Structure formats: C-alpha cells, structure tokens
Structure 1
C-alpha cells in the first residue's frame, strides 16, 4: 500500500500536461510541413511580394487547395498546445476535437500516413485518459478559443477567396479585397458589391456564412459564459462565483480556532477554502469559499483543490475526525501540501501523531506550559512557543 501510494504521488506530481502539450505541438508541426516547404520554395523577398494573388495561388497550387484544412488543423493544434500548458479545459476539448479531425483527415488522405494516424489516435487516447489534469476554466481560455476560431476561419476565407478569385464578380485579385469579402461574409452583412458567379464560389461563400454564424455564436458563449454564469450565481446564492483553487489553504472545521485562523489568514491575503459539515451553523463571512461536505471524504477534499493546496488544516472539535481528515488528505494531496492537525485533548496528542501529520498542536498543552513557565519565572521565547505549537509529528516509539 505504501509503495502504491508513493507511485501514485510521483505520477500525479509529474508535469504530464507539459508532455502532452509538446506531443500535440509536434502533431501540429507534421500537419504544417507542406505549408512550410511551400513557403521555403517561394522565398519571397518581402511581405508585399508574398501577399499577392499570384504568389498565394502558387503557394496553394504547390500542395493543392485540399491541403488548406490540413494547415488550419496544424495551426490550431500549435495554439491549443499553449493552452494545455496552463491546464485549460477548453484547450483540452478543442485539442481532442482537432486530433479527431486530424485522424479523419489522415485516413481520408491515406497516402503513407499510417504512422501519423496511429500517433494521432494514441495522443487522443492519452488526452482522454488524463482528462482530470485539465480542470481549469477562465475568461482568458475562452478568449483564446474565440481568437483561434475566428483567425482560422479568416485564413480559410482569405485563401479560398484568392484561389477562386476569378469566379467572383468583380474578380478578387488581392489580399485586401479577399480580407474585405471574408469579413463581410463571416459577419453575414452582405453588401452585394462582390458576388459569386459559379457553383464552387457559391458553395464556398455559403460555407463561410455558416461557419461564421457558428463560430461567432460559440465564441460569444465561451467569453460571456463565465461572466454571465458568475453573475447568475451571485444573484442566486448571494455570493461571488467559486474562485480558482490553487496555492490556497484548506480549513476543515467551524470551531472558534478555525474561524479565527480563517480571519487571520484572509487578513494576510491568503486564499482560503473552508469545508463545513452539511447544514451546520458557522460564523464564516458570506463571501467565504465554502464547501459543504465530509472532510474525511477524499472526493470532498479533491473538490476543495487538495492536490494544489499549500496547507490542509484539520481543526474540528473531534480529534478522531481530525485524524481521519489527515489520512484522507494523504491520499489526494501532493508532496508539497503540508497537513496540520489539532489535538483538542492532550491524551489524544500521541494518537494523532501516529497518523503522520506534518504539524500537530494542542492548545491545552500550550496554555498549560506557558502558564506554568510564567508562574515559575522561566523564559518564554519564540523557539519554545514554536516547539509547543508544532512538536514533531513523528510517532513515538
């Protein structure tokens, strides 16, 4: 059991999200290779020379219009890899969708891509298996998704408009006109000054309009969703939305000591999450980050962000509950998390030490020692108080 728990802790502490991000970025690079080779072959002397209808047509013709989705998938995977580094859930979702699309593309274009198909499928499976590692959501992640989606659609629209330029009236022959037509079509404004005149150009314009409506709607929901959701929770529950729990301190209990520790920590700027028993009466402020549940349950500790917590403090009035909280914390917290246990009676001090908290203290022992030293005229210094508050947590032999 000890070896298994140690292996589990090492496994959880590994920066696996970095490895997955690198693998996703590499997959994106394999998709971008035709475009990179085409740009290298063109070797334009300036951006003005590159951004012309002739140059872009040569660029597209060098590997075919059908490969443009491949480039878009590659760019999307490269950008989503950055989101995976920050454990963003939306980056995980989009990466998985892009990998599935990439596997489908490779299967469709099955010309010696068997190894890439296997690599993409294995990578998608790894993302599914380790989905718990990507549990963060934020306005920044939603904004990144919106930016990537709109930029990808814009690239698709500009390239397609230039490639089919002669099939419009008037013809689209430069990047500025292609950009203008793309924006007008994506936003469904439709001024009518540039119109498609062939079946291919009409279908292309229709695809821009449909994708534009879908992406704009999804992007708005991704950005506005967290804001609107937070306001609704504030109206319904009368408090701010749940903060992102990381590098915080978890306090389990509603004792006067627990509430005073909470107030002192908040006054010093620390983020604190409190676990209280269901339907219990407490004196914590309304804006406190509260979780109702049994702190001896590992699921409740995980919901409180135990793996990313700095400290887990068991400050209940029942010493046995404090001991069980420490045992549960050892199953879910990382090696960087420190555990603190309160011994309400001195007779339970040795028993609580046996469960192995990093720090254990007894207010009764502290008060008795300070009072006796004061009466005896002995020196009371910081080292003595620290030893009384936090004696060694190693069990006595």
Structure 2
C-alpha cells in the first residue's frame, strides 16, 4: 500500500504539472482575445492595477512558460531531476503571470500552478535520475550559444549597415531569424560589409543548429527505438559500473530481479526478444543478446561488474555463459544455479565460484520443515557461506 501511495504522489505531480502547463498556454492565448473567452466584468486578480501592455506581455510569456512546462512534464514522467528543478522554477512563474493577466482563466491558473508546485515539492524523492550530457552534446549547446552571441553582438555593432536595427533585441531577433533560415526579410543589410557579415552569421548559425539537433535528438530517438526493441542503448550501457550481470532468463530470474531492484545496478542479458520487451516495459534494464558471446558481455560491462549471476534452466548454456564471463573477467564473482544436481561440478569447472542446486535445496528444506527439523534454517544459511551447495 505504501508503494502505491508513493507512485500516486509521483503521478499526481506529473498530472498537475501537465494541467498547469496546458492552462498556462490556453490562458496566454486567451489573453490576446482570439479565443472568445473574455467574460464581461470578470478580469484577472490584478488586472485593474496592471497596464495593458504588461498584461499582453504576461499573456505572451505565459503561453511560452506553458510550453516549457510541457518539457518539464516529459522529464518528470521519466523521473528526471532536471524536470523537478525546472517545474519548481516555472510553476511560480506561471502563477505570477496569471496574476498579471486580464483573462478570467487567470484565477484557476494561479490556484492550479501553486497546487502543482506544492505536490512537486513534496514528491522530490521520486525524481532523482540524473541527466548527463555527453561531451558532444555540451559542445553542441556551446556552439549554438556562441553562434547567437557572435551574430547578436556583430549585428548590433554594425547596426548602421542595417536599415532597421536599433536595439540589442533587434540584433538578437535578426540573428535568430537568419540562423534558423526563416528570413522574414524585414531586416536586411544595406552595404557590402553587412552582406558579408550576414553570410557568416548564416553559415555559423545553421551549422550550429544542425549539429545541435543531431547531437541532442539522436540519443532520444535511439532510446525510443531501443525501448521498442527491448534493449538498452550504447550510451546507457556505457554508464554501467559496479553492477550485477544476470545472464539468461529462467525460472529464478524474477526472484533475482526482485532481490536486486533498489539495492544495486543490474542488467539482464537474454537472447529472447519477447522476454526482453516485457522486461523493458517494466523498466528493468535488459540487453537482447546471447550471454555466451563475448561482444554482448563487453557492451554489458563485464569488466566493471561486481558479480555475475547465471540461473537459467539450461545447464549447458549456463556453462558457456560462465566460461565466457570468467575468461573476460577472472576476478569477478560468479554465482550459478544448477538445474540438475549432477551438473554442479561442471559449472564449477566452467568458472563459477558458487553453485546452488535449487531443486535439491528446496526438497531438503521442505522435508526438514515437514519433519520439524530445527536445522532446516541452517541449510538455507549455508547458501550464503559455502562455495557450493550440494545437499
């Protein structure tokens, strides 16, 4: 019940933030008077004290804030810490913009934004997944910022070469429109020097946008395809360290996953695409590959793994997986389960440190418990201490 309550809190934070984002957009658009939502005699909370141009500015920025909140919602859905931070920053801003607007929707916007903020703040522990940018992504963002800075400063410095650039805002607007290849034509260079400068802005701006879009969106697209195919991306795999590898999938895999979840990082390697898809839908990290091949184990980070667990129903396949893992990391701890008791020595020769026969062990525990043997628990304890268990 406690787990369900915690999930409910996280989901409520996402739902309320989404509702606040949509209402912020609708309220902002309504502020321009194009939705016909104005109610005679009903204005915003502070409409009587706010100049008209401020109300219009609040409507425009409020709609923009709503779109930014939608990106926070996406990050919150994935448990991202950055989504929590941006939501905490934008929700008060959305409430403040609601106070300044003249739309009757401003009242529910203020209330909903503050309520969403309260729920997001109280559920911070659910949004702890860090967002790490690669060096390429950081360079791409820096390229965009520098290209816009170059164009804005240069345009403002050469404003005499343009007919209608008077302020730094005009310069930034011209740079952004030019770099994005929109080119409205309301601002154009009037000299040869100005034209040469605009060419440089166009080349650096479009190049930075192209590189940034590729660097920032490609990992997201890869992650979406990987999720659909039931596998992890190379970027996700490269972040694994001091984790547990579960090679193959068998009857014992689910209990193993339940024990590992919340205690350490782990990765399941299975050749079954259907099983991998099922695990992915449950947010269980999985790699669709043959666990007895070297290449998948390299991707799975066997060299940095803290332990390897092999527990399928096929002792022959498990022996190959153990042998491969042992060859690639002689120091890693390997724990295996033998489907048949007679295969315990074989799995140990393949390289397993600890081999357990679940069927034989379970039979002994059941019989001992039925006979009232007080030593039944000692058999279970031996699993944690013996190098191999063969009842």
TM-score by length of 2: 0.49
Q: Normalized against structure 1, the TM-score is what?
A: 0.49
